[in-house]
Chain A
Amino acid sequence: SAVISQKPSRDICQRGTSLTIQCQVDSQVTMMFWYRQQPGQSLTLIATANQGSEATYESGFVIDKFPISRPNLTFSTLTVSNLSPEDSSIYLCSVEEAETYEQYFGPGTRLTVT
């Protein structure tokens, strides 16, 4: 199974600023996923990041607000821009195993916007 780390684990940011979250995997993976979990809610997929191509965003999420980088097969970043209190959530990255489609998640980044 893949081991995933995220940085930072938590942060408190002021509105109008941006936060970049890093996701590192211990093995090469084709697809990486970014999710948001708002307080008391389940997970919502933000985008899928493939190495060498632009990320694919889900309905309701746009690149200007959530720019994503995927420079290689083990690393990705998600930036949450122009922060507002509504962005206060846990952000999680995940990868899937190619043969079984089993999903593995990072420990999450807890963002609070004041």
Chain B
Amino acid sequence: KQEVTQIPAALSVPEGENLVLNCSFTDSAIYNLQWFRQDPGKGLTSLLLIQSSQREQTSGRLNASLDKSSGRSTLYIAASQPGDSATYLCAVFLYGNNRLAFGKGNQVVVIP
């Protein structure tokens, strides 16, 4: 069974610092990995999608890397802003059963 772990579970950083969020998964037979943002009580917003053949994806201040062989992904958010405060979820799409397996999220607070 695929297990997805996100570390740290929660973190607070001062505005302007770079954020580093980690995601690990136990089964490397994934089709892709997706990072989402969730604001309290709201739905999920897709941030970045990395296909299994790719090493990284970038969108603005966000950069996500994928090391499939070691079962790791990292989301970098440069120059954090208070508006980046949210929970960030990592999910892997699995070959075979065509299901998303989610981590529990990294809860981020950016302090002005």
Contacts and interface: CB of A to CB of B under 8 A. Distances in A.
- Majority-rule SS of B interface residues: strand
B51 A108 contact: no
B44 interface: yes
Interface size class of B (residues with CB under 8 A): 20 to 34
Contact of A103 (B42, B51, B100): B100
A31 to B, nearest CB: 9
Interface residues of A, number: 20
A108 B43 contact: yes
Interface of B: 31-32, 34, 36, 41-46, 49, 51, 89, 91, 93, 98-100, 102-105
Interface of A: 1, 6, 10, 41-43, 45, 90, 92, 94, 100-108, 110
